[in-house]
Amino acid sequence: MPQRKQLTWTELRVGLFVLAGIVLVVIGIFYVTGTGALGPKYRLVTYLPEVDGLAIGAPVAINGVEVGNVDSIAITPITPGQPPAPNRNVEVVLRISRNFQDDIRSDSYATLVTEGFLGNRVVTVQRGYTGMVLRDGQEIPGREERAMKEIVERGADLMQNLSALSTQVNDIVGALKKGQGTLGKLITDETAYNHINAVLSRIDQVTASVQQGQGTLGKLVASDELYTKFNSSAGRLENVMNAIEQQKGSLGKFIYDPSVHDSAVQFLNGGNALLSDVHAGRGTLGKLATDDSLFATWRQTGQNLSNATANLNSKDSTAGKFFDDPQFYDNMTGVAGDLRLLLNEFRQNPSKYLKVKFSLF
């Protein structure tokens, strides 16, 4: 009968250490795979259009709080006689701690979220408030990750725009190399360089002339004459200001003498009183400004003058004929001529017209 081999203390100690290590590894695996991994779990099912980058054991979170992990991922079988649903392509089973069962309700939904721009994908569950609490094995609605889809679509649009921009830049560079356009001529044509070089040379000459004090600008920069004149003017202005502050001269008295202010106030008061009298119709000026009879008289006078002028312009009236009748003009001219001859003859022989006859009784 074979003898039974007895375990030594060393072998027993090694076995205990190995068993303790296995237990620690198992505990670590459960700890890494989800919050409260040693507590009770229940499973929910969700359907998503795609799960690219999602792995079994990936975290499941409720509004960012990790509550479980992904238990399984499988392709949704096609049901005969029913149209395929693109939004339910993949079946994902979620293993979630029962401590958060009251937070996942029928108004909750599950979606995929990418950690960072190129990180791993995790399942996030939107917390529910008003719906019924989901039980083990029930379905939580799934939604497509809109953010990543929009990023991908925008990235495609960006790449297309960058491609078009690159083509345009290449065309511009090619045109510049061929010397087309103003910029192309500036780059390839040596005449532009020569012109710019000549302009810079002239600018250098002008700068040298200014530094040497030549010309008006040079004198302004290099000569102290303008500064001296300005300083002298500033000194005289300061003297004038000091004289004004000391109440010297007419301007100083005008600014500091209170009698000027009193006179100005008195003048303004008199002007206001005069305006008040005019507005009230007192005095000659007030009557001229407010009395309508004077305006009516002037208006009637103007009308009379207008009528008289019309009569003068008319050939039917005596005054009109006096101004417009040529025969009257000729007669008047003849009378004037005869009168002139009569006066000449009177001057030459006054005795002919001045005869005095005396008679005695």
159 occurs within a structural domain: yes
Q: Decide which of 144, 179, 210 is a domain's last residue.
A: 144
93 in the same domain as 46: yes
pLDDT at 67: 92
Beta-carbon neighbour count of residue 72 at 10 Å? 12
Please state the pTM of the whole predicted model. Answer: 0.36
Owning domain of residue 108: 32-144
160 in the same domain as 130: no
pLDDT at 246: 76
Per-residue pLDDT, averaged over 207-212, amounts to: 78
pLDDT at 163: 80
pLDDT, tens only, 129-178:
998 999 999 999 988 766 555 565 566 677 777 888 888 888 787 776 77
117 in the same domain as 172: no
The answer on pLDDT for 93 being more than 90 is: yes
158 in the same domain as 138: no
103 in the same domain as 46: yes
Nearest to 61 by CA among 117, 32, 104: 104
pLDDT, tens only, 225-259:
766 777 777 778 887 787 777 777 777 777 777 77
Name which residue leads in pLDDT, 125 or 303.
125
307 occurs within a structural domain: no
279 occurs within a structural domain: no
pLDDT at 360: 52
180 in the same domain as 104: no
The answer on pLDDT for 211 being more than 70 is: yes
pLDDT at 361: 47
309 occurs within a structural domain: no
pLDDT band at 59 (very low <50, low <70, confident <90, very high): very high
Name which residue leads in pLDDT, 124 or 221.
124
342 occurs within a structural domain: no
Mean pLDDT score across all residues of the chain: 77
Asked if residue 66 lies in contact with residue 34, where contact means CB atoms within 8 angstroms, the answer is yes
127 in the same domain as 177: no
pLDDT band at 264 (very low <50, low <70, confident <90, very high): confident
117 in the same domain as 67: yes
* Structural domains in the chain (count): 3
